[in-house]
Structure 1
Amino acid sequence: MSPIPTPPAEPQDNPDAYVGLEAGRAERLARERGWTAVRSLPPGTVVTMEYRVGRLNFEVRDGRVARAWKG
């Protein structure tokens, strides 16, 4: 029987730390900290609910991160 694969590790980073930052700066910082995918979304965007390891999502309002979450 094959071993169960171990999912890749996520950066040890708090998404709340990005709230209030300018969107471009927040995206650069997230990539520097090891996030493999960074997604900036306008408020109210419909997104799928699948969890993707290594992805950080930003809700951007008026050029600034209003909310951030993993997956």
Structure 2
Amino acid sequence: MAPLPTPPAQPDDNPDTYVGLAPEDAERAAAERGWSTVRTLPPGSVITMEFLHGRLNFEAEDGRVTRCWIG
């Protein structure tokens, strides 16, 4: 049987630090901190629930990040 792959390391980062920032600033900061994938979504977006290692998600409304989560 083949060994299970080891996921790449992801940044040791607190998602709450992005809440309140402008989405552009939050995306730039996330990229600088090493997140491989960053996406910004409008509130209530329909998204799949798969966990993608290294991805940071932002929910933004009225020009500010209102929620942030990993995966």
Tell me the TM-score normalized by structure 2. 0.95
Stretches of structure 1 that go unaligned for 5 or more consecutive residues are none
Counting aligned pairs with the same residue, the percent is 66
Aligned residues: 71
Q: Per-residue CA shift, 1:30-71, capped at 9, x if unaligned?
A: 000000000000000010000000000000010110000001
The residue aligned with 1:32 is 32
Once the two structures are TM-superposed, the CA of residue 2 in structure 1 deviates from its matched residue by 2.8
The residue aligned with 1:69 is 69
Once the two structures are TM-superposed, the CA of residue 8 in structure 1 deviates from its matched residue by 0.8
Stretches of structure 2 that go unaligned for 5 or more consecutive residues are none
Question: In structure 1, what is the Cα distance between the partners aligned to 2:4 and 2:40?
Answer: 32
Secondary structure, in 3 states, of the residue corresponding to 2:40? strand
Residues 1:2 and 2:2 are matched in the alignment: yes
Tell me the TM-score normalized by structure 1. 0.95
Residues 1:48 and 2:45 are matched in the alignment: no
Q: Per-residue CA shift, 1:18-39, capped at 9, x if unaligned?
A: 0000110000000000000000
Tell me which amino acid in the other structure corresponds to 1:20. Answer: G
Q: RMSD of the TM alignment (CA)?
A: 0.8
The residue aligned with 1:16 is 16
